[in-house]
Structure 1
Amino acid sequence: MESEESQIILFTTTIVIILFVVLIVLLFSFFQKRKNILLQEQINNQKRFEREIAETQIEIREETLRNISWELHDNIGQLLTLAKIQLQNATPENIDEVSQTISKGLNEVRALSKLINPEAIKNIDLKEAIQLEIDRFNRLNFIDSSLIIEGEEQEIDKKVSIVIFRILQEFFSNTIKHSKASKLNVLLKYTENEMIVSAQDNGIGFLASEKSGKGIGLTNISNRAKLIGAEAIFSSEKNKGTTLLIHYKL
């Protein structure tokens, strides 16, 4: 009798152990598979991020080349033409005007040279890149622009800076082309835990119901902000301008 009970206990124990081992194997297999899926997702996300960064750099470069082409043709070209006319009619009394025109042309060329350097696009310093855009807008009388820095400036990952700068480029482009604004104010605010970027114009704005009609620009901005873990928020009222707020956790 005791022998039968012992056998039953042994059999039951064996079954329990086998089931336990099988369960452990299944759980290990499940978690290993889940781990592999998560790792693959991380790899895919990283590839998508790198691809987006590369595309963003290309877009910045193309936008920069468009700006350079325009300035060479319409701005520096006009200055050189003016200098040529002044030289043809130069007198001792107006030679200073010729010198000033040529000096202005040289300054314009120096300003453009800062935008041509490909390394500047790959390793964007966000504050400097924004300031170059602001200076260009003011220099060419596109729009009265300003950049204000608040808080203690902190170093931002170069790839994050590239994405934020491209977002601002899109906003600037929309402001200049469509908003009919006379002022553009940009704020970089650093707190202990986040960087807040604000870009605000005083243009015609748009109603919330019109957002869907504003094209792919707003969608691109929101998607790119999500890509770097940031949040892009638009606010606008008809005839009261548009504001873009970007919150990025440091």
Structure 2
Amino acid sequence: MDQEGIQSFLIVFSIIAFALALTVILLFAIFQKRKNKLVRIQQETENKFKEEIIETQIEIREETLRNISWELHDNIGQLLTLAKIQLNEADETCGNVSEASETISECLKELRNLSKLINPDTFTSLTLIEALEMEIERFNRMKYLETTLEYNLETFDLNTKVETIIFRMLQEFFTNTIKHSKATQLKVKLTYSEETLEIKAEDNGVGFDVSQLSRGIGLSNIKNRAKIIGADAIIESKKGEGTQFLLTYKNK
């Protein structure tokens, strides 16, 4: 083969090799794109499935709370009312009877307030601020701990479902504060501006190691509920330095 033939062969071979390499690269790119798409679809499906499970769990809890609320109001409330009537018909000269009647009246009042606060239907008539005020007033009345609430707006436009979930998250935090923190103070602050709601709740309790957060069902529920409404929820704590709950929600 002469020199010119060799050059022609090399040119043809180079073109073929380049075409093959380009084909392999294109096929790999197409494969990678399809793979990434499948992974993304799988991830989205998994995330949607998890969200549906969480939503179902929340719906079950809310329905349970609704039933408990009705039970407290209709059954236990009626029994306490009957007991009060019976005491009033007893010998009123006895001081113990009068004191017992007053105690039952206070029990009825607290029972009705609690019934409202755990009933999801409450948010059809109460705003988030009003529900929080009721909850915090209850803490102060029962002398659980000294509690304060600050906010820059009394009302803001939030979906009822979102308000309910935010309130339940705060209730989870309050419950953990009362049960485990040994705190004497609880402060809650809500700031709403430019369709962004920021909430900061903090106690002065014993604190805990946040690396153990996954072991706490209540505080883990806060994270799960936040995912449902697309909010950012952060729990910060150090032993001996209390606990903070920070929530940021962008109103859509």
The alignment's TM-score, normalised by the length of structure 1, stands at 0.66
1:150, distance to aligned residue in structure 2 (A): 2.4
Counterpart code for 2:188: V
Find the counterpart in structure 2 of residue 148 from structure 1: 150
The 8 Å contact of residues 163 and 224 in structure 1, kept in 2 or not, is answered as no
SS at match of 1:59: helix
1:35, distance to aligned residue in structure 2 (A): 1.6
My pick for the range that moved more, 227-236 or 67-76, is 67-76
Find the counterpart in structure 2 of residue 230 from structure 1: 232
Aligned length, in residue pairs: 235
The separation in 2 between residues aligned to 1:43 and 1:199, in whole angstroms, is 34
1:142, distance to aligned residue in structure 2 (A): 5.4
1:139, distance to aligned residue in structure 2 (A): 6.3
The separation in 1 between residues aligned to 2:75 and 2:141, in whole angstroms, is 16
Summarize deviations over 1:72-112 as a string: whole Å, max 9, x none: 6776643442234225568xxxxxxx9xx98x969965883
My pick for the range that moved more, 25-34 or 50-59, is 50-59
Q: How does 1:53-132 map to 2 (within 5 A)?
A: 53-63=55-65, 65-66=67-68, 69=71, 77-87=79-89, 109=112, 112=115, 115-116=118-119, 120=123, 126-132=128-134
The 8 Å contact of residues 200 and 246 in structure 2, kept in 1 or not, is answered as yes
The 8 Å contact of residues 68 and 112 in structure 1, kept in 2 or not, is answered as yes
**Alignment identity in percent?**
23
Counterpart code for 1:189: T
Counterpart code for 1:112: S
SS at match of 2:58: helix
Find the counterpart in structure 2 of residue 9 from structure 1: 11
Find the counterpart in structure 1 of residue 95 from structure 2: none
1:148, distance to aligned residue in structure 2 (A): 2.3
Counterpart code for 1:164: I
Find the counterpart in structure 2 of residue 94 from structure 1: none
Find the counterpart in structure 1 of residue 20 from structure 2: 18
**Per the alignment, do residues 211 and 89 of structure 1 end up closer, same or farther by CA in structure 2, a change over 3 Å counting?**
farther
Counterpart code for 2:132: I
Summarize deviations over 1:171-227 as a string: whole Å, max 9, x none: 22223334455654322122448533222345xx22546985995246515643773
Counterpart code for 1:198: K
Find the counterpart in structure 2 of residue 28 from structure 1: 30
Counterpart code for 1:147: L
Find the counterpart in structure 2 of residue 220 from structure 1: 220
Find the counterpart in structure 2 of residue 197 from structure 1: 199
Find the counterpart in structure 2 of residue 93 from structure 1: none
1:42, distance to aligned residue in structure 2 (A): 1.6
Counterpart code for 1:11: F
Find the counterpart in structure 2 of residue 248 from structure 1: 248
Q: How does 1:156-167 map to 2 (within 5 A)?
A: 156=158, 161-167=163-169
**Per the alignment, do residues 25 and 127 of structure 1 end up closer, same or farther by CA in structure 2, a change over 3 Å counting?**
farther
My pick for the range that moved more, 229-238 or 164-173, is 229-238
Q: In structure 1, list runs of 5 or more residues that go unmatched.
A: 91-97
> Aligned match of 1:188 in 187, 190, 197?
190
The alignment's TM-score, normalised by the length of structure 2, stands at 0.65
| Pair 1:174-2:185 in alignment | no
The separation in 1 between residues aligned to 2:212 and 2:120, in whole angstroms, is 37
Question: For the aligned residues, what is the CA RMSD?
Answer: 4.5
The 8 Å contact of residues 57 and 162 in structure 1, kept in 2 or not, is answered as no
SS at match of 1:55: helix
**Per the alignment, do residues 129 and 154 of structure 1 end up closer, same or farther by CA in structure 2, a change over 3 Å counting?**
same
The separation in 1 between residues aligned to 2:151 and 2:73, in whole angstroms, is 28
Find the counterpart in structure 2 of residue 44 from structure 1: 46
